[in-house]
A and B are shown apart, each in its own frame.
Chain A
Amino acid sequence: MTGAVLRLDNVGVRIGSAQLVRDVTIDCPAGTFVGLLGPNGSGKSSLLRTVYRALPPDSGAVLLDGQDLLRELSARQAARRVAVLAQEPAHEIGFTVEEVIAAGRTPHHGAWARWASADRAIVTQAVATVGLTGHEHRPFSALSGGEKQRVLLARALAQQPSVLILDEPTNHLDIGTQLGLLALVRGLGITVLAALHDLNLAAAYCDRVHLLQDGALVAHGTPGEVLTPALIADVFGVTAHRVAHPDTGRPHLIFADPVSPSREDNS
């Protein structure tokens, strides 16, 4: 799998009378891991949904290697190149692990098409990549949260995408599973655009980060440029001390009290 160039070009999202995202431009060069940061309700998920076509943008465009994802590519063509790993769905899923992952092959086939052995090989490979070989026939609903996320990642991998969207994929996961998941994704070599809550995870894994506040982009750059105590106090309302990670030298934040009690949206 190789990465594609993803560009969000002046994207705006409006639902009803609420302007959720305003003129956001983000460039993700091929093969980079780009982070999308911001408090709850800052528009991260809405912005990401425009990339995997769950929500049409009201203005601007999403470009994949220069092609307009919504106007120049069919839904199936787009789904062969962009996959998503979001938080696990709230409703019960009556599939086995293998059936969930096999759904990733959907955009590669029309109705009634018989699947080739290549499809089975791709599914088997995806199962192995996330370390779930031998668990193919377990019911999805019986898995732990971390296992479910790995199955959903395998489904995304079975799409053979060149861009992977992550929407807070590590929520509710233990620290080992969080790091394992992001390391695995980073090792794929494809372009990643990830909304992350944990600023230290973002600092550790992202090549570049973009900071959203109230639907607008307020800063972007390397984690070292963006994750400054002043900006974090302004956007998240908390005091942060910044140190260098003893192993990697990347920025690491240590949080203190909220700047003012009225700001509590970074839960």
Chain B
Amino acid sequence: MRSTTVAPAGPEAVRRRPAVRYAGVLGVLVALIPIVLVVAAGTGAVWIPPDQIWSVVSARLSAAPVGDALTDQIVWQVRIPRVLLAFLVGAGLAVAGTVLQAVVRNPLADPYVLGVSSGASLAAVGLLTLGTAAGAGLGATIGVSGAAFGGAVLTLALVLLLGRRRGVLDPSRLLLAGVALSYLFQAATTFLQLRVSSNQLAAVLFWLLGTVAGAEWGKLLLPLVLVSASFAWLLGQARRLNALHLGDDAAASLGIDVHRLRLWLLVVAAALTAAVIAVAGGVGFVGLVAPHAIRLLIGADHRKLLPAAALAGGLFLVLADLVGRVVVQPLELPLGVVTAVAGVPFFLILLRRAGGSA
């Protein structure tokens, strides 16, 4: 091509290299992790300073005798599992949101766009409210988490069945199927809520808006395994996600079986979402805003986007849980309330700064 047609490199060409921006953003996020985690674990009805948290953690990890039993109880049994669960949930939802935004090629997609959470909510709320002997028996066996997970999986299967066009998964049809099922399940969930007594309603609302209040070490294992495994697999797919971002035909011409990749990405993202909301309820907004915010900062290259979005989502939810615990003490706010109230203004500022160019 004639070199005379190339415009001289303008101000945009000399802006900072993406690699430098990425290193900066990742560095800030990594540096924030210990600070945010320690502050979140220290804050509550009793303030526990960082040095005491450190002594509890080091005593526990080295199997040394526990110092102060009460401090140990608060830090090790209550706050650390809670903070870690919040981080896992936030990271998982951010990763799922990143993937779904790429799969349906719509920046408004979030982990719930396929109706997975509404199916989980219906199953969980059904279990919480029906209160029949059968429900109680079932509840004792699988628990609210198990019901939510099952509801999510069934919904995903339904959406995959409805989201096909000529036997192939079609992004717009997937979205429509997911949205339609969401409305249906939300209607059913609302109906269940109307029939419920007021003392049950609080539990239902907290579940619907998300909470990590019930965190304990035993509940961390499943989400930890699923979030880590999905994240590792997705990171291996990062270049294929990039190819998918360029368009279906482009991805096919780059040697990718688009239909199979999309199917696997959907299944993994939905499993990730299901594992996370099964333990923490339907925490909104973090899965939409974390990927979006990071994309505005560092671009859409999934090799960078996935790790940075995971860290940002985790940190954001730990902070949201912290805020929810302290603003209306001794009451707590559901996570979804805090993520929306704190996240929306931040997001709008970011959007304005980026001039809507991403």
B242 at the interface (CB under 8 A from A): yes
A112 and B237 CA atoms in complex are apart in Å by 8
- Report whether A131 and B242 are in contact in the complex, using a CB–CB cutoff of 8 Å: no
Given A132-B6, A181-B1 in contact, is the A91-B243 Cβ separation under 8 Å?
no
- Report whether A89 and B247 are in contact in the complex, using a CB–CB cutoff of 8 Å: yes
Sort A-B residue pairs by CB-CB distance and give the 6 closest, nearest first: A79-B255, A94-B300, A107-B255, A111-B236, A76-B255, A52-B253
Our pick among A83, A103, A141, A150 for the contact of B242 (Cβ within 8 Å) is A103
- Report whether A180 and B5 are in contact in the complex, using a CB–CB cutoff of 8 Å: yes
- Report whether B253 and A53 are in contact in the complex, using a CB–CB cutoff of 8 Å: yes
- Report whether A93 and B255 are in contact in the complex, using a CB–CB cutoff of 8 Å: no
- Report whether A159 and B166 are in contact in the complex, using a CB–CB cutoff of 8 Å: no
Most buried by B among A49, A83, A94: A94
Return chain B residues, CB-CB under 8 Å to A78.
255
A176 at the interface (CB under 8 A from B): yes
- Report whether A94 and B299 are in contact in the complex, using a CB–CB cutoff of 8 Å: yes
A15 at the interface (CB under 8 A from B): yes
**B interface residue count range (under 10 / 10 to 19 / 20 to 34 / 35 or more):** 35 or more
Which of B8-16, B55-63, B86-94, B148-156 faces chain A?
Answer: B8-16
A73 and B253 CA atoms in complex are apart in Å by 13
Over the window 125-149 of chain A, the binary record of Cβ atoms lying under 8 Å from chain B Cβ atoms (1 yes, 0 no) is: 0000111101101110110001000
Known: A77-B255, A89-B246. 20 other contacts (CB 8 A): A52-B252, A53-B253, A54-B253, A79-B253, A83-B253, A93-B300, A95-B245, A106-B243, A106-B255, A111-B240, A112-B235, A130-B1, A137-B16, A139-B357, A141-B357, A142-B12, A150-B1, A159-B254, A165-B253, A184-B1
Over the window 77-105 of chain A, the binary record of Cβ atoms lying under 8 Å from chain B Cβ atoms (1 yes, 0 no) is: 11110111010010111111011100110
B188 at the interface (CB under 8 A from A): no
Q: How far is the CB of A242 from chain B (nearest CB, A)?
A: 29
A159 and B9 CA atoms in complex are apart in Å by 26
Given A137-B17, A176-B2, A176-B5 in contact, is the A106-B254 Cβ separation under 8 Å?
yes
Return chain A residues, CB-CB under 8 Å to B17.
137
What does DSSP make chain B's interface, helix, strand, loop or mixed?
loop
18 contacts between A and B (CB under 8 A): A52-B253, A79-B254, A79-B256, A86-B249, A91-B105, A91-B247, A93-B245, A94-B295, A99-B299, A103-B246, A103-B254, A106-B254, A109-B239, A112-B236, A137-B15, A137-B18, A138-B12, A159-B254
B198 at the interface (CB under 8 A from A): no
- Report whether B239 and A54 are in contact in the complex, using a CB–CB cutoff of 8 Å: no
Given A91-B105, A103-B243 in contact, is the A135-B250 Cβ separation under 8 Å?
no
Residue of A nearest to B304 (CB): A99
A218 at the interface (CB under 8 A from B): no
Within 8 A of A (CB), among B340-358: 357-358
B141 at the interface (CB under 8 A from A): no
Over the window 279-296 of chain B, the binary record of Cβ atoms lying under 8 Å from chain A Cβ atoms (1 yes, 0 no) is: 000000000000000010
A242 and B115 CA atoms in complex are apart in Å by 61
- Report whether A80 and B299 are in contact in the complex, using a CB–CB cutoff of 8 Å: no
Residue of B nearest to A74 (CB): B255
Residue of A nearest to B242 (CB): A103
Over the window 72-98 of chain B, the binary record of Cβ atoms lying under 8 Å from chain A Cβ atoms (1 yes, 0 no) is: 000000000000000000000000000
B3 at the interface (CB under 8 A from A): yes
Over the window 144-177 of chain B, the binary record of Cβ atoms lying under 8 Å from chain A Cβ atoms (1 yes, 0 no) is: 0000000000000000000000100000000000
Q: How far is the CB of A188 from chain B (nearest CB, A)?
A: 12
Given A15-B166, A49-B249, A132-B6 in contact, is the A95-B13 Cβ separation under 8 Å?
no
Q: How far is the CB of B167 from chain A (nearest CB, A)?
A: 11
Return chain A residues, CB-CB under 8 Å to B300.
93-95, 99
A219 at the interface (CB under 8 A from B): no
Return chain A residues, CB-CB under 8 Å to B299.
94-96, 99, 139
Given A96-B299, A111-B236, A184-B1 in contact, is the A75-B166 Cβ separation under 8 Å?
no
B301 at the interface (CB under 8 A from A): yes
Q: How far is the CB of A162 from chain B (nearest CB, A)?
A: 14
Most buried by B among A74, A75, A103, A132: A103
Given A75-B255, A137-B18 in contact, is the A131-B245 Cβ separation under 8 Å?
no
Q: How far is the CB of A151 from chain B (nearest CB, A)?
A: 11
Within 8 A of A (CB), among B291-349: 295, 299-301
Given A131-B5, A132-B6 in contact, is the A94-B358 Cβ separation under 8 Å?
yes
- Report whether A131 and B255 are in contact in the complex, using a CB–CB cutoff of 8 Å: no
Given A103-B239, A131-B3, A137-B13 in contact, is the A93-B246 Cβ separation under 8 Å?
yes
Residue of A nearest to B255 (CB): A79
Return chain A residues, CB-CB under 8 Å to B242.
95, 99, 103, 106
Within 8 A of B (CB), among A2-45: 15-16
B216 at the interface (CB under 8 A from A): no
Most buried by A among B105, B235, B243, B254: B254
Residue of B nearest to A45 (CB): B249
